[in-house]
């Protein structure tokens, strides 16, 4: 999604070949959160070092021929066969590995966002597997035979909304780094990138939020109006009426959450005239501030209304709405990809 800015200055044939190549690869490797690597979808080529190694073998062979030295012949053949064996080994290393996207991270624009893949190896080890994106660095992990391990890909959230890597390159150069075997996984599940939080300047904004918050402050201050109920698991300790607990030994919660008019609303309309993205950033900052203070709050966006609540899940859903506000659902859904495994 995010990397449509592929070099435009490249000549048209190159571009055309690149497109055809990508199209071909995409047909071979459909969008899926799980991918089993096998001969059909593994590519293998020598690395730059592998090419130099090939050159070295030629030089060694020439030395052997010119000095008529059998042992140099022998070593040349040995290293040549080792190179072929390494080809087999490198391929086998990736082949049989299965990657499943098990957790998609979240974060703000500019932060590094993790994609956690679970790798399951078959009877052979998958060593030094490198997950990478064109724009982000690689991590190196090992999955030993018959075991599973989590491989984490960190990618940078460039803009708010869904973050769905076009192709995650899965590569291995084990054992000697002379050959690289690679494939791609094209996940379906997108990460969410929240707008960057920007604290709105104080005092400028006179809105319904203020009107209602004065109302709320009364109700919070006057604890008599609050509903009391017994303590339930998950209640915040600040809400426990400790004085009452000291008197009677009962854990009682002052529950003003359900009350009308008491929560504070965060409103998209609160910042008239401000750019959409900046508004969202303001709202994100406010959501995080409230959430940190463990206040209850609701969120109103054009066409979207999240009832006041508090807690991490609530915060997450508010941030999520802010992240994807005004964006179409993930783009791959429109594309014509074939039936997937999972």
Partner 1 sequence: MSRLLRRLHGNGSDTDGALAVPGRALLWLIGAFWVLLLPQWDRLPVWLLTTCVLLAGWRWLSQLGRIRLPGRVVRTLIMVALIATYLVTVNGHFTVDTAASFFVIAVALKWLETRSERDYYVLFFILTYLATVNFLFEQGIFWTLLNLAGVLMLLIGLQVLNAPELPHAFALGWRRLGGMFLKSLPIVVLLFLFFPRLEPLWSVPLVSGAAKTGISDSMAPGDISSLAQSSERAFRVSFGGGIPASADRYWRGLILDRFEGERWSQHQRTPVRPPGRVLSDGGVGELQPGEYDVLLDPTGQRWAFALDNSTAVSDNVEAADWGLFHFRRPADTPVRYRLARTSAVPNVSALSETMERRFLQLPPTGNPRARALARELQRQSASSGELVETLLARFRDNPYYYTLRPPVMPENGVDTLLFDAMRGFCAHYAGATTFVLRAAGVPARVVVGYQGGELGAGGDYLIVRQYDAHAWVEAWLPETGWTRIDPTAAIAPSRIQSGLREAVAEEGSFLENNWASPQRYGNLALLQWASLQLDKVNYQWQRWVVGYQGQSQMDLMSRLPGNIGLKDLGYITAGLVAVVLLVIGLVAAWRQRSLLAQDSVMRLLVRWRRELGRAGIPLEEGQTPLQIAERVAHHAPQAGALARSFAQTLNNHYYGGLSPDKPGRRRQTLMRLRRLLVSHKKALKHPGSTKTQG
Helix (H, G, I), strand (E, B) or coil at 109: coil
Closest CB 285 distance from partner 1, rounded Å: 18
CA distance 43 to 273: 53
Closest separation in Å from C-beta 105 to partner 1: 4
The SS3 of residue 232 is: coil
User: In the chain, what is the straight-line distance between the N-terminal and C-terminal CA atoms, in Å?
Assistant: 21
User: Within 10 Å of residue 208's Cβ, how many Cβ atoms?
Assistant: 12
CA–CA separation, 177 and 167 (whole Å): 23
The residue (of 164 and 322) whose beta carbon lies closer to partner 1 is 164
Comparison of 133 and 216: residue with beta carbon closer to partner 1: 133
Contacts of 130 (CB under 8 A, 6+ apart): 138, 139, 140, 169, 170, 171, 172, 173
Residue 259 CB neighbours (<10 A): 16
Q: What are phi and psi of 303, to 5 degrees?
A: 85, -5
Handedness of CA 2, 288, 189, 328 (dihedral sign): negative
C-beta of 111 vs 209, nearer to partner 1 = 111
| Residue 176: CB minimum distance to partner 1, A | 4
Cα separation, 38 vs 183, whole angstroms? 9
CB of 62 to partner 1, least distance (A): 7
DSSP string, 67-84: TT-HHHHHHHHHHHHHHH
Least CB distance to partner 1 at residue 146 (A) = 5
* Shortest distance (Å) from residue 289 CB to partner 1: 18
- Beta carbon nearer to partner 1, 31 or 279: 31
List CB contacts of 150: < 8 A, sequence separation 6 or more. Answer: 102, 116, 117, 118, 119, 141
CA 157 – CA 164 distance, rounded (Å): 10
The minimum distance between CB 320 and partner 1, in angstroms, equals: 14
Query: CB of 81 within 8 A of CB of 129?
Result: no
Given the complex with partner 1, which of 84 and 218 has the nearer CB atom?
84
Strands 179-185 and 43-46: antiparallel
77 versus 205: smaller Cβ distance to partner 1: 77
Whole-number minimum distance, CB 17 to partner 1, in Å?
Answer: 26
**Least gap, CB of 249 to partner 1 (angstroms):** 37
């Amino acid at each position: 999604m995010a990397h449509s800015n592929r070099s435009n200055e490249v000549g048209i044939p190159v571009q055309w070949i690149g497109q055809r190549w990508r199209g071909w690869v995409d047909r071979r490797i459909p969008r899926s959160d799980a991918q089993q690597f096998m001969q059909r979808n593994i590519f293998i080529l020598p690395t730059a070092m592998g090419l130099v190694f090939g050159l070295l073998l030629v030089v060694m062979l020439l030395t052997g021929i010119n000095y008529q030295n059998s042992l140099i012949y022998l070593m040349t053949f040995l290293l040549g066969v080792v190179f072929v064996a390494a080809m087999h080994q490198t391929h086998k290393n990736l082949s049989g590995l299965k990657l499943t996207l098990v957790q998609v991270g979240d974060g703000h624009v500019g932060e590094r966002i993790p994609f956690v893949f679970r790798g399951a190896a078959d009877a052979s080890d998958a060593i030094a597997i490198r997950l990478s994106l064109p724009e982000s660095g690689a991590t190196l992990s090992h999955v030993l035979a018959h075991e599973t391990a989590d491989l984490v890909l960190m990618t940078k959230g460039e803009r708010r909304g869904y973050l769905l890597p076009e192709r995650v390159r899965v590569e291995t150069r084990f054992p000697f780094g002379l050959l690289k075997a690679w494939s791609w996984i094209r996940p379906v599940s997108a990460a969410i990138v929240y707008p960057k939080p920007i604290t709105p300047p104080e005092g400028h904004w006179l809105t319904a939020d203020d009107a209602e918050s004065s109302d709320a402050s009364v109700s919070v201050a006057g604890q008599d109006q609050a509903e009391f109920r017994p303590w339930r698991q998950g209640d915040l300790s600040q809400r426990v009426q400790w004085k009452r607990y000291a008197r009677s030994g009962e854990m009682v919660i002052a529950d003003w959450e359900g009350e009308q008019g008491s929560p504070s609303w965060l409103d998209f309309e609160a910042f008239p005239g401000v750019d959409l993205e900046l508004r969202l950033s303001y709202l994100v900052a406010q959501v995080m501030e409230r959430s940190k203070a463990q206040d209850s709050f609701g969120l109103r966006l054009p066409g979207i209304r999240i009832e006041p609540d508090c807690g991490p899940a609530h915060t997450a859903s508010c941030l999520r709405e802010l992240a994807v506000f005004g964006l179409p659902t993930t783009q791959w859904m429109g594309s014509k990809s074939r039936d997937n495994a999972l």
